[in-house]
């Protein structure tokens, strides 16, 4: 309920959450996407309260969730936005499984510093590497853009996506960001009033119609594509490459290697000094989650999006 960062995750039905958690009993991943978006976080930070020494934001179900006007999604939008949520959720859980001591709060502290373009400490650099936080940032930005688009508010998306304050309160905001967030809240309040008027007339947009109203009829990363020309990656495999320290460079060099043809993770690791197999495998898994790389029978190749971009 009370936390520095407003983060939502999916849980298996076998998990029994305690009283300190807010649980939404829905199996629609598009709901996870919307509540994870900058749009909902802005609403919840404004509608919720504050608690504790750190004045952390408090999520109140009746004020933050029940009053929030979800976008009206068609079937393709529901599927697409749900896929963004699945990628985000999978990425975080995978990195925490790889690094059991890695905490979500630490990951999002680093994410906030990346958005603010602030330097990282050595400890934060380790969190950045373990959590692949640059990938986390790309996933959040992609999800945010999809949700803004669902509302039809791309003008605000261009002013807000990628800026700090997306998961935690930001006190010292630039004027343009503060004005854009104020406009966002104004539109959400107007939409809330519109939905309230509709409900008076009997038109309710249930999140779980099969449970809430079974007899009613419901109305209907960016990761940069490293399109390096083939001539730029014609380095001989026998020549050992240095494994970059920065995550962005690791992504770039692996994509360049995959441009030369499919390979297994050990084969790719062999091309680098000291054979960084674990690091190579982690980056490949992240690229797969973003559809930038595909794995079949332990062999990795470029994802469909990149393959299409370099096809003759």
- List domains and CATH numbers for the chain: 2-212 (no CATH), 230-310 (1.10.10.10)
- Least confident residue range of 1-10, 34-43, 61-70, 108-117: 1-10
The residue-averaged pLDDT of 283-289 equals 83
Tokens linked to 180:
């854009």
Nearest CA among 23, 148, 128 for reference residue 84: 148
Note if the pTM is more than 0.75: no
pLDDT at position 311 is 34
Strands 299-302 and 263-264 turn out to be antiparallel
CB 149 within 8 A of CB 300: no
pLDDT tens for each residue of 290-307: 778 888 888 888 875 433
Nearest CA among 3, 10, 59, 4 for reference residue 33: 10
Q: How confident is the model at residue 93 (pLDDT cuts 50, 70, 90)?
A: very high
**Between 259 and 166, where is the model more confident?**
166
Distances (CA, A) of 232 to 117, 256, 268: 30, 8, 17
CB 56 within 8 A of CB 71: no
């Amino acid at each position: 309920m009370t936390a520095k960062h407003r983060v939502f995750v999916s849980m298996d039905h076998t998990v029994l959450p305690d009283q300190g958690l807010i649980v939404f009993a829905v199996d629609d991943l598009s709901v996870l996407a919307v509540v994870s978006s900058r749009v909902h976080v802005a609403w919840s930070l404004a509608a919720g309260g504050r608690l504790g020494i750190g004045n952390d934001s408090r999520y109140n179900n009746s004020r933050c969730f029940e009053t929030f006007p979800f976008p009206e999604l068609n079937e393709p939008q529901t599927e697409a936005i749900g896929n963004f949520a699945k990628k985000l959720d999978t990425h975080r859980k995978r990195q925490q499984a790889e690094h059991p001591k890695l905490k979500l709060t630490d990951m999002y502290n680093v994410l906030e510093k990346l958005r603010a373009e602030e330097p990282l400490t050595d400890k934060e650099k380790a969190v950045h590497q373990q959590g692949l936080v640059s990938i986390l940032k790309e996933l959040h930005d992609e999800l945010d853009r999809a949700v803004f688009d669902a509302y039809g508010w791309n003008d605000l998306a261009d002013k807000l996506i990628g800026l700090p304050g997306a998961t935690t309160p930001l006190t010292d905001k630039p004027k343009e960001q503060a004005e854009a967030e104020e406009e966002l809240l104004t539109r959400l309040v107007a939409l809330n009033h519109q939905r309230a008027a509709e409900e008076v007339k009997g038109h309710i947009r249930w999140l779980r119609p099969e449970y809430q109203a079974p007899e009613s009829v419901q109305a209907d990363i960016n990761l940069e594509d490293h399109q390096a020309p083939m001539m730029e990656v014609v380095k001989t495999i026998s020549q050992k490459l240095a494994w970059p320290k920065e995550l962005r460079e690791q992504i770039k060099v692996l994509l360049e290697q995959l441009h030369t043809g499919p390979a297994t993770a050990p084969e790719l690791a062999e091309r680098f000094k000291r054979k960084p197999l674990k690091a190579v495998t982690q980056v490949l898994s992240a690229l797969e989650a973003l559809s930038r790389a595909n794995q079949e029978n332990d062999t990795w190749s470029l994802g469909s999006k990149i393959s299409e971009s370099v096809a003759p």
